[in-house]
Amino acid sequence: MDFGPNDGYLYIASGDGGDEINAQRINTLLGKILCIDVDGGTPYAIPQTNPFVDSINAEVRKEIYAWGMRNPWRCSFDPVTGWLMAGDVGQGSWEEIDVIENGKNYGWRCYEGTHTYNMSGCNYPEYVLPVWEYSSSSGSECSVTGGYIYRGLNVPELEGKYIYGDYCSNKIWALTYDGINLTTNQLLVIATGGLTSFGVDQNQELYLTSFNGNIYRFTPTITPVELSSFSAVILENEINLKWRTETEVSNYGFDILRSVQNDIWDKIGFVEGHGNSNSPKDYSFIDESVTSGRYSYRLKQIDTDGKFEYSKIIEVEFNSQIQYGLSQNYPNPFNPATIIKYSLPEDSDVSIIIYNALGKEVDLITNGIQTKGPYQKTWNAKGFASGVYYVKMNAKSLSSDKTFSNVIKMLYLK
């Protein structure tokens, strides 16, 4: 149980009671996330935002906030995004991590994780699949223990990552998920004793409890330079490499290495590091000496004492002939402004519109005739609410029958 950080309501997680179908029944409190207002009535009131508050069916339990859960253990709110995170224990093959939203059905017993389990009577129009799952069928892992998104100060490299574990293996992972981008998962440490739960103190520092009777404080070893992303953006006549570090210790800088054939790597540039840093740092390098073809890039991160490590390799197919395109906005997530890039191979009639998560048009980036070439626009979301937004681009050539349409998803976090 926990009180919501923004609304003050009490949220309660319940398992299915051993009867699988309970999770899909809305006339029982089992297999649900419940939400009640403990200050609004005797003994409590139903929040007006609950999905079934207006139901006239006396059997429907209006306390339901979300359903389709098997055994959520444990749940927590993130004070920054407001997300309600849940580790939902599987029946025997798949453990899952969910971001719980109002009125959503998370699939059990129809689905265990992203996998079908028992589809009898499963005709609900939309089941929400987990943001992450892992297999527990091997026996080494058996039961997820949900944790917290880390918001403390002592371990800056974990900022914004969801920390959770498994009861049987005692493994603890850090899950990276920003609401849009693909999730990544990193094994941090193997705990001592049976991992039962996580907790945070008044400073948002993370603790874990064990069946051995001890409480542990979470202080993993700091990675000297933690590279969290490395990507390439194709421009009209060049390739823009972008990367980010979460923390840096004794970082001298980065050699930029490029290969065009036979895994032969050439140094094409150097970018100086920030030395020591406990906050994210963004870097970029533009490769202007490119023609049509395939290129591979990697970074050689060099410490001040001469030690070095290589990044992952990214590959880019570059075509100097400009095409219609709408690139993913950068940065993403953003606050309050982000850059939207697009390209036109011919003079075109173009419209680029911003929509909110409900599909309502909220802003117009451009609308009208534009000459061919690359473009860059800045959208400032100051004055808008935090959340998911969509950018839709439609273009029609003035000289041919070419048309183009694309949508990208953005996340604005105040």
Q: What is the pLDDT of residue 116?
A: 95
Phi, psi of 260 (to 5 degrees): -115, -15
| CATH code of the domain occupying 2-217 | 2.120.10.30
- State both tokens at 63: 């306390």
- State both tokens at 209: 């409890």
Q: What is the pLDDT of residue 193?
A: 79
Q: What is the pLDDT of residue 139?
A: 77
SS (H, E, C) the chain: CEECCCCCCEEEECCCCCCHHHHHCCCCCCCEEEEEECCCCCCCECCCCCCCCCCCCCCCCCCEEEECCCCEEEEEECCCCCCEEEEECCCCCEEEEEEECCCCECCCCCEECCEECCCCCCCCCCCCCCCEEEECCCCCCCCEEEEEECCCCCCHHHCCCEEEEECCCCEEEEEECCCCCCCEEEEEEECCCCEEEEEECCCCCEEEEECCCCEEECCCCCCCEEEEEEEEEECCCCEEEEEEEEEEEEEEEEEEEEECCCCCEEEEEEEEEEEEECCCEEEEEEECCCCCEEEEEEEEEEECCCCEEECCCEEEEECCCCCCEECCCECCCECCEEEEEEEECCCEEEEEEEEECCCCEEEEEEEEEECCEEEEEEEECCCCCCEEEEEEEEEEECCCCCEEEEEEEEEECC
Q: What is the pLDDT of residue 138?
A: 76
Q: What is the pLDDT of residue 352?
A: 97
Domain ranges for the chain: 2-217, 225-318, 325-412
Q: What is the pLDDT of residue 31?
A: 98
Region label for 38, one of left (φ > 0), alpha (ψ between -120 and 50) or beta (otherwise): alpha
Fold that domain 325-412 belongs to in CATH: Immunoglobulin-like (2.60.40)
CA angle 378, 350, 330 (to 5 degrees): 25
Q: What is the pLDDT of residue 238?
A: 83
The per-residue pLDDT string of the chain (414 residues; one tens digit each, 9 = 90 and over) reads 999 998 999 999 999 999 999 999 999 999 999 999 999 999 999 999 999 999 999 999 999 999 999 999 999 999 999 999 999 999 989 999 999 999 999 999 999 999 999 999 999 999 999 999 999 987 789 999 999 999 998 888 889 999 999 999 999 999 999 888 777 888 888 888 789 999 999 999 999 999 888 999 877 555 678 898 999 988 877 899 999 998 898 899 999 999 886 678 889 999 999 999 888 999 999 987 776 678 899 999 999 888 888 998 898 887 766 788 899 998 999 999 999 988 888 899 999 999 999 999 999 999 999 998 778 899 999 999 999 999 999 999 999 999 999 999 999 998
Q: What is the pLDDT of residue 92?
A: 86
Per the CB < 8 A criterion, the answer to whether 118 and 172 are in contact is no
- State both tokens at 243: 């990367």
CA distance 163 to 158: 8
Q: What is the pLDDT of residue 299?
A: 95
Fold that domain 225-318 belongs to in CATH: Immunoglobulin-like (2.60.40)
- Are the folds of 225-318 and 325-412 the same? yes
Quote the pTM value: 0.56
